[in-house]
């Protein structure tokens, strides 16, 4: 039947709102291994990165026309009835008018085919600070401040107006113990903090969430082969769930949530492996692997019917690089990155490939690393369920990202 019931319209659009809170394959931004613990002597480092993603797409399918047709059909049926009590297919004129208004209102929220999403991923910066001190030949203490995850996405108002702004920071306090000349182990707590967050869309209104924090842990080990000078580092970070108190600050036409609710921002358990192998006194190969268990770390709420707002996939990232020492002051490094992904509304790309070129310059006890990284983002199609009227589909092609990075280290 062309005329869609009010219940089905609302159910379909609530399904769309569930998708609009999610982010494909998690929301990593800058996860780094705790390799600063293995620097010689006491050491401090400041890092900075600026990322400029270029991500946009177009709507290729929308239920807007179907809903408009349903509204016209319902209004036409209402106009055929002589009074408010006569039945047509079991419905009265006021009931047809209500269906027409409901379908018309739902159609107004839907994007048109061909609508541009706008530049949805906003530019962002990352900063970090690390410090280590050797207390003896066996024991090293280190602290590291990073910004490992976050989201800052804004769709055009004509395309749902979906948006989210969320920032995750972490502080690791680590103790490393040198077992022998080759093997060391380290461990410590991680304090993870989510600042005040905002999110929403045109159908469900706007939400604000208070800042919150939670504690997890990091542990790992390092190995160095004395004969071949192979260096190996493995680290593990636990999953962390942070509960934020949130409230609806702008009511949407399809959803009203009174009072305070709990919104849970989860980051996954993750493991990182890093290997460095000198080829000569002036050259080196390096490789890293990282697996983040995002399938078990979703954004969730205490709202009945909206308990889980994302459906992430696990992420794997591979990096292969080659470094060359030009002279005692200058070294150069080039690397290739491959990262898996699974597209959805707030991260509409699949796999991504990256090329990086970095240089390191030594000046007495200081060193400066600087470089540029370019990512090619694989084309993707995202689908937002729209109920019986049809789904919203968007196509993203030819997207990429550029990032600049710098680190300043000091040995003392």
Strands (E), 160-314: 163-178, 183-194, 197-201, 205-209, 212-224, 231-237, 240-251, 261-267, 270-280, 283-292, 300-301
Give residue limits of the domains in the chain: 6-63+110-411
Residue 70 buriedness (CB in 10 A; 0-12 / 13-18 / 19+): buried
Domain 6-63+110-411, CATH: 2.40.160.60
Residue-level pLDDT, tens digit, the chain, 412 residues: 333 333 333 333 333 333 333 344 678 887 888 999 999 899 999 999 999 999 999 999 999 999 999 999 999 999 999 999 888 889 999 999 999 998 998 899 899 999 999 999 999 999 999 999 999 999 999 999 999 999 899 999 999 898 889 899 999 999 999 999 999 999 999 999 999 998 888 888 888 999 999 999 999 999 998 888 899 999 999 999 999 998 989 888 877 788 888 888 889 999 999 999 999 989 999 999 999 998 888 878 787 666 777 778 889 999 999 999 999 999 999 999 999 988 878 888 889 999 999 999 998 899 999 999 999 999 999 888 777 888 899 999 999 999 999 999 999 9
């Amino acid at each position: 039947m062309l005329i869609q019931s009010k219940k089905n319209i609302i159910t379909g659009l609530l399904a769309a709102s569930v998708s609009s809170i999610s982010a494909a394959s998690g929301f990593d931004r800058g996860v780094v291994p705790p390799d600063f613990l293995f620097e010689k002597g006491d050491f401090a480092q400041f890092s900075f990165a600026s990322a400029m993603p270029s991500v946009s797409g177009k709507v290729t399918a929308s239920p807007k026309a179907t809903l408009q047709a349903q509204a016209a059909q319902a209004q036409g049926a209402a106009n055929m009835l002589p009074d408010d009590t006569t039945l047509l297919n079991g419905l009265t004129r006021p009931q047809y008018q209500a269906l027409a208004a409901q379908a018309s209102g739902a159609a107004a929220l839907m994007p048109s085919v061909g609508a541009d999403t706008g530049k949805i991923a906003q530019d962002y910066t990352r900063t970090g600070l690390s410090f280590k001190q050797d207390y003896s030949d066996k024991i090293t203490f280190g602290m590291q401040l990073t910004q490992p995850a976050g989201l800052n996405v804004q769709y055009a108002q004509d395309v749902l107006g979906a948006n989210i702004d969320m920032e995750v920071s972490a502080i690791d306090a680590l103790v490393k113990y040198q077992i022998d000349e080759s093997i060391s182990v380290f461990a410590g707590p991680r304090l993870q903090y989510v600042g005040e967050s905002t999110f929403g869309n045109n159908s469900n209104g706007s939400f604000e969430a208070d800042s919150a924090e939670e504690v997890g842990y990091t542990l790992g080990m390092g190995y160095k082969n004395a004969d071949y000078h192979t260096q190996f580092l493995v680290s593990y970070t636990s999953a962390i769930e942070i509960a934020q108190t949130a409230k609806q600050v702008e009511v949407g036409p399809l959803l009203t949530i009174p009072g305070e609710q709990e919104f849970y921002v989860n980051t996954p358990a993750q493991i990182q492996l890093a290997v460095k192998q000198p080829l000569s006194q002036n050259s080196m190969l390096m490789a890293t692997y990282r697996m983040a268990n995002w399938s078990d770390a979703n954004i969730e709420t205490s709202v009945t019917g909206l308990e889980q707002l994302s459906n992430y996939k696990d992420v794997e990232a591979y990096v292969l690089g080659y470094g060359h020492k030009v002279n005692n002051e200058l070294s150069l490094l080039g690397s290739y990155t491959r990262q898996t992904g699974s597209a959805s509304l707030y991260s509409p790309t699949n796999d991504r490939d990256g090329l990086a070129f970095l240089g390191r310059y030594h000046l007495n006890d200081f060193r400066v690393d600087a470089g540029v990284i370019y990512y090619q983002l694989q084309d993707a199609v995202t689908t937002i369920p729209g109920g019986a009227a049809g789904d919203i589909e968007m196509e993203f092609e030819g997207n990429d990202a550029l990032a600049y990075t710098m680190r300043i280290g000091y040995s003392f």
